[in-house]
C-alpha cells in the first residue's frame, strides 16, 4: 500500500482527459493535477521553454510527495523522451506508449495529429520508425484544436470546418489509425470520428493506463483525493474543468504559484 498521490500535468485543461481515464481505471489512487493555464499554449513554444516550464512543474509535483509523475501533454513529452525518472521519481510520457499502441492496430499507415511543437519534433515518427521501419507516418499539425477546446467551442459547425481542413488527407487516403497526439483532442474524438468514419483513434488516457499498470507501483488505500491545481483561475476554466471531469466530482480548483 502506498497512499501517496500520482502527479499529472498538462499546459492546460486538456490533460484532464487523461486524469478522467486514470481516475476511472485506478479507483483507489489519489491524484494531483497541474494545468499551467497561465502559460498555455505550449504547442507553439520552443523545446527550451517547454523544458523550463516542465521542470518547474515536475518539482512542484515532487513537493506534493507524488509516487509517480505523468506528463499528460504530448508537447512536453517530446522534450522528456526516454527519461524514466525525474529526481528519483518514476516519470511517464505519452509518446513511446502511444506509438506502440498505434502499431498494435496493424495498419500500414499511421497519422499523427499534434500541436506544432509535437509535429516539429517528429518524436512520434521517429519512435514509430524505430519500432517498425515499414510503417508510413503522416504528421499533421492542428494548432486550432487546442484553442477550440480551451474555449469550449466543440461539437458544432466551426469544429466541423476545422476538422475537415486538417483531416481531408487522412480521409482521402483512408488512413486506418490516427494518434490523437495532444491531450486536448479526445474532447473532439466524436467530431473526428464523425468526419473520418471507421478509424482507430489512439488516445493518451488509455495508453497511459497500461503504462502506469506496468510500473507496478504499490497501490493506494481506497479513500482518495483528486486535487486540480492551476496557475491561473477564472470562472470559465472552473466550469470547463468540471464539465471535462464529469461524472467525477471535483472540489474547487486550487490556484498555485510555481
Please give the residue ranges that form the binding site for ligand DGL (CB under 6 A).
Answer: 10-12, 14, 40-43, 73-75, 115, 118, 146, 182-184
Which of these, 72, 74, 70, lies nearest to 91 by C-alpha position?
70
**Cβ closer to ligand DGL: 119 or 167?**
119
> C-beta of 142: minimal distance to ligand DGL in Å?
10
Secondary structure element (H or E) that encloses residue 121, with its range = helix 116-121
Q: Catalytic pick from 22, 32, 68, 73?
A: 73
Q: Angle formed by the axes of helices 95-104 and 204-215, to 10°? A: 110
Cis peptide before 41 (omega within 30 of 0): yes
**Cβ closer to ligand DGL: 4 or 148?**
148
**Cβ closer to ligand DGL: 30 or 115?**
115
Cis peptide before 247 (omega within 30 of 0): yes
Q: Catalytic pick from 101, 182, 192, 245?
A: 182
Would you give the distance in Å from CA 34 to the centre of its chain? 12
Secondary-structure percent of the chain, ordered helix, strand, coil, rounded to 5: 45, 20, 35
Backbone angles phi, psi at 247, to 5 degrees: -85, 0
In sequence order, what are the beta bridge partners of 32? 7, 227
**Cβ closer to ligand DGL: 220 or 241?**
241
> C-beta of 22: minimal distance to ligand DGL in Å?
15
**Cβ closer to ligand DGL: 93 or 220?**
93
Nearest residue to the partner ligand DGL, using Cβ: 43
Q: Is 229 a catalytic residue?
A: no
Distance (Å, whole) CA 212 – CA 226:
17
**Beta-carbon contacts of residue 54 (< 8 Å; ≥ 6 apart):** 9, 71, 76, 79, 80
> C-beta of 222: minimal distance to ligand DGL in Å?
30
> C-beta of 81: minimal distance to ligand DGL in Å?
14
**Cβ closer to ligand DGL: 43 or 220?**
43
> C-beta of 50: minimal distance to ligand DGL in Å?
9
> C-beta of 153: minimal distance to ligand DGL in Å?
15
Distance (Å, whole) CA 181 – CA 3:
31
Q: Is 142 a catalytic residue?
A: no
Secondary structure element (H or E) that encloses residue 211, with its range = helix 204-215
Catalytic residues: 73, 182
Amino acid at each position: 500500500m502506498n497512499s501517496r498521490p500520482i502527479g499529472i500535468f498538462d499546459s492546460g485543461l486538456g490533460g484532464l482527459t487523461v486524469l478522467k481515464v486514470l481516475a476511472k481505471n485506478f479507483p483507489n489512487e489519489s491524484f494531483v493535477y497541474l494545468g499551467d493555464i497561465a502559460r498555455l499554449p505550449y504547442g507553439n513554444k520552443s523545446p527550451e521553454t517547454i523544458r523550463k516550464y516542465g521542470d518547474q512543474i515536475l518539482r512542484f509535483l515532487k513537493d506534493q510527495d507524488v509516487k509517480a509523475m505523468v506528463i499528460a501533454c504530448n508537447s512536453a513529452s517530446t522534450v522528456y523522451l526516454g527519461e524514466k525518472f525525474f529526481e528519483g521519481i518514476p516519470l511517464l510520457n505519452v509518446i513511446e506508449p502511444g506509438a506502440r499502441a498505434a502499431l498494435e492496430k496493424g495498419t500500414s499507415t499511421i497519422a499523427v495529429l499534434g500541436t506544432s511543437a509535437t509535429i516539429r519534433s517528429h518524436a512520434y515518427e521517429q519512435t514509430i520508425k524505430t519500432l517498425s521501419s515499414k510503417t508510413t507516418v503522416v504528421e499533421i499539425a492542428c494548432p486550432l484544436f487546442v484553442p477550440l477546446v480551451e474555449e469550449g467551442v466543440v461539437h458544432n459547425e466551426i469544429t466541423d470546418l476545422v476538422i475537415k481542413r486538417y483531416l481531408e488527407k487522412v480521409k482521402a487516403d483512408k488512413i486506418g489509425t490516427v494518434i490523437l497526439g495532444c491531450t486536448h483532442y479526445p474532447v473532439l474524438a466524436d467530431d473526428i470520428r464523425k468526419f473520418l468514419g471507421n478509424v482507430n483513434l489512439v488516445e493518451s488516457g488509455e495508453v497511459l493506463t497500461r503504462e502506469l499498470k506496468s510500473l507496478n507501483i504499490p497501490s493506494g488505500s481506497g479513500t482518495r483525493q483528486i486535487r486540480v491545481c492551476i496557475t491561473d483561475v477564472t470562472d470559465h476554466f472552473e466550469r470547463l474543468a468540471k464539465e471535462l471531469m464529469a461524472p467525477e466530482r471535483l472540489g474547487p480548483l486550487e490556484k498555485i504559484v510555481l
